[in-house]
Structure 1
Amino acid sequence: MELSHLIAFNLALFAAIASPGPALLVAIKTTLSAGRQSGIAVGLGLGLVASLWTLAALLGLEAAFLLFPWAYTLVKFLGAGYLIYVAYRMWTGARRPIGNETKPAAHAFRQGLLINILNPKSVLFSAAVLVVIFPAGLTTTENLLIVANHFLIEAAFYTALAFAMSRPAVSTGYMRARLYIDRFAAGVLGLLGLRLLMTR
């Protein structure tokens, strides 16, 4: 493995993290509604599981999903159900006073874990990127380096996002438009959950 492989992987990873999806939406919403600490915590949960999906891809879990389609289907349905549940809670909570929406960092971290644990497409994405970018026959040390690198990139991204989104001007703007932002985010998450249910 060469440095150029790791750079290419990081570019693909950054594009995936920054693209609109459940993880990014939940990270933004958590920071805006519960503050920087919870935003960082949810990002660490997301990043930890995403890096473990990369480890699973390196170990060949995508082959297990192909051999046992029922396992993939089970995880997919659980993931879709959880996204729809989060969307429902976000939608119904949009009118509640912000003081009732405090989210301890530990709870935010668990939510980050669940969002990515219940997203089996993460391991398939990781497998596709790894096959394209890295040469065959990686050593154990190289595999661990890729996984650690993945976690650090995710942690840095979500930490920077939490700092940016928790600025007073941003949080004040969110409070003014909170009902519409939360309802929009809930709608997107719900649609993503339904899409996950209907796709193979």
Structure 2
Amino acid sequence: MMVPGLDFMLVTRLAVMKGRAVALQATLGIATGVAAWGIAGFFGIRTLFIAAPWLYLTLKIGGGLYLITIGAKLLINSWKKEATADATTPHAEQRSNSFFAGLLTNLANPKAPIFTSSLFAASMPQHAPIYLGLACVASMFMIAIAWFACVAMLLSLDRVSAIFLKNRRWIDRCAGITFMGLGVRFVTERTPA
């Protein structure tokens, strides 16, 4: 969880640009995605991807295209004058959208199912009871909530966010390029046979 990646970048940006409540909603979306991958990992997504490699390829390309789209929007908007849409969007709508942004960002990462299924394959006994797998998934969910909530709380502090807000355009540009770069990588990366 602590390795900076797409989820970390999303929470960081939202905490600084939109505030604590919006970043915490994204945190809940990310943790929901983590739980979904955890459940899928426990119940054998790795086996499914081996049996039907086109499913992994579909996830990888779809996730990559989603990240390219998000990155392009960030990059394009970073060159515009200060957006007024943020001021006119109701806070409830921003929080709702940030939940789905967190969820989709996590689900769009094709490395997540491979990592999760590998984690279960390496650490769980062969015939693990369902309650043990679900306990692991609950732990993953809680760790995601705890980590990203800490990130959201720290980065939404006035002193910290003031530094980031001064550099908003550059943050958006870096985030946009990173999202697009990872998206292109996911779409073009060769799938191991």
TM-score of the pair, normalised by structure 1 = 0.87
| Number of residue pairs aligned between Structure 1 and Structure 2 | 184
Residue from 79, 85, 88 that aligns with 1:100: 85
Report matched runs for 1:50-89 at 5 Å.
Answer: 50-89=34-73
1:110 alignment partner, SS class: helix
- Please say which of residues 100-109 and 82-91 is displaced more in the overlay: 100-109
**1:4 maps to which residue?**
none
Equivalent-residue separation in structure 2 for 1:139 and 1:182 (angstroms): 45
Conserved 8 A contact 1:22-1:83: no
Report the Cα distance in structure 2 between the residues aligned to 1:57 and 1:153, rounded to whole angstroms.
17
Aligned identity (percent) is 26
- In the alignment, is residue 31 of structure 1 matched against residue 15 of structure 2? yes
CA contact (8 A) 2:110 2:186 kept: no
Q: CA deviation at 1:100?
A: 2.8
Q: Runs of 4 or more off by more than 6 Å in structure 1? A: none
Report the alpha carbon displacement of residue 50 of structure 1 after superposing the two structures with TM. Answer: 1.2
1:165 aligned onto 2:149: no
Unaligned runs of 5+ in 2: none
Aligned with residue 168 of structure 2, among 151, 173, 178: 178
Alignment partner, residue 146 of structure 1: 136
* Aligned position for 2:181: 191
What CA deviation, in whole Å up to 9, does each residue of 1:144-172 have, x standing for no partner? 11111110110111111110000111111
**Change in 2 beyond 3 A, CA 1:128/1:99:** same
Q: What corresponds to 2:103 in structure 1?
A: 113
